[in-house]
Amino acid sequence: MILPCLTFAETPGMGRGVFTSEDIPAGTVVEVAPVIVMNADARKLLDQTLLHDYIFEWGQDRMQCAMALGLVPVYNHAAPSNCEYEMDYDAAVISIRAMRDIRAGEELFINYNGDFDDPSGVWFTLADG
């Protein structure tokens, strides 16, 4: 499920991103995306490719990884972000929820660390500095 008001477009300095054409109230689930779950051996192979930047650690023990379908791979990172993602290991889906009111035309962001307001650095900024 993807809200029909969501789209993707170029965003300065980040490639593509997810945007909304309508206002979205806080608490709204904007997307529920299925994932493809892979084991630790597949993760080692994926870590050698560009897909490394798009997979999520998966499972209670984080020994698996998952590739989300839908728009999930296109959400850019911000801390704090205006959306948060939640993993449902049993249903093999990732849900994206608005954490504040989002205005039409705004880009939707997730925090790659998991919690929308987690200020810690992420792998691609830590590697740069």
Spell out the domain ranges in the chain: 6-31+70-126
Q: What is the pTM of this model?
A: 0.88
What is the CATH number that goes with domain 6-31+70-126? 2.170.270.10
Q: Over 90: is that where the pLDDT of 22 sits? A: yes
Q: What is the DSSP letter of 52?
A: G
Quickly state the pLDDT bin for 113 (edges 50, 70, 90): confident
Averaged over 16-40, what is the pLDDT?
A: 97
In this prediction, residue 126 carries a pLDDT of 41
Nearest to 94 by CA among 112, 67, 60, 63: 67
In this prediction, residue 117 carries a pLDDT of 64
Q: Say which residue, 24 or 127, is predicted with more confidence.
A: 24
In this prediction, residue 127 carries a pLDDT of 47
What Rg do the C-alpha atoms of the chain give, in angstroms? 15
Phi, psi of 14, deg, nearest 5? -130, 5
Q: Over 70: is that where the pLDDT of 10 sits? A: yes
Phi, psi of 120, deg, nearest 5? -60, 155
